[in-house]
């Protein structure tokens, strides 16, 4: 992901922080719809981070 010129942090760090926060909040909640929603968001953020790492890597390979 590209670096935001108005931020000291890069977008990978921001997505990683959001993912950790969503998982932490979800683990403190009882089982239910809201917890499932937070875990789904965290999963999507994790997939986004993996795709970005692959897309910006120096040796591009086919996804598995």
Average confidence (pLDDT) per 10 residues, the chain, 64 residues: 62 82 90 92 87 77 67
Are 14 and 34 in contact by the 8 Å Cβ rule? The answer is: no
Are 36 and 47 in contact by the 8 Å Cβ rule? The answer is: no
Is residue 60 one of the residues assigned to a domain? no
Is residue 26 one of the residues assigned to a domain? yes
Spatial separation of the C-alpha atoms in residues 64 and 53, rounded to whole Å? 14
Spatial separation of the C-alpha atoms in residues 39 and 25, rounded to whole Å? 9
Is residue 46 one of the residues assigned to a domain? yes
Cβ neighbours of residue 48 closer than 8 Å, sequence gap 6 or more = 15
Is residue 6 one of the residues assigned to a domain? no
Is residue 1 one of the residues assigned to a domain? no
Our count of domains for the chain comes to 1
Q: What is the predicted pLDDT for the residue at 49?
A: 83
Is residue 17 one of the residues assigned to a domain? yes
Q: What is the predicted pLDDT for the residue at 56?
A: 78
Residue span of the structural domain in which 44 resides: 11-55
Q: What is the predicted pLDDT for the residue at 36?
A: 93
Is residue 3 one of the residues assigned to a domain? no
Between helix 33-55 and helix 11-27 the angle, nearest 10°, is: 160
Is residue 63 one of the residues assigned to a domain? no
């Amino acid at each position: 992901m590209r670096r935001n010129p108005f931020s000291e942090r890069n977008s990978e760090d921001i997505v990683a922080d959001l993912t950790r926060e969503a998982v932490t909040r979800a683990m403190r909640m009882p089982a239910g719809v809201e917890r499932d929603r937070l875990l789904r968001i965290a999963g999507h953020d994790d997939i986004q981070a993996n795709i970005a790492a692959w897309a910006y890597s120096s040796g591009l390979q086919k996804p598995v």
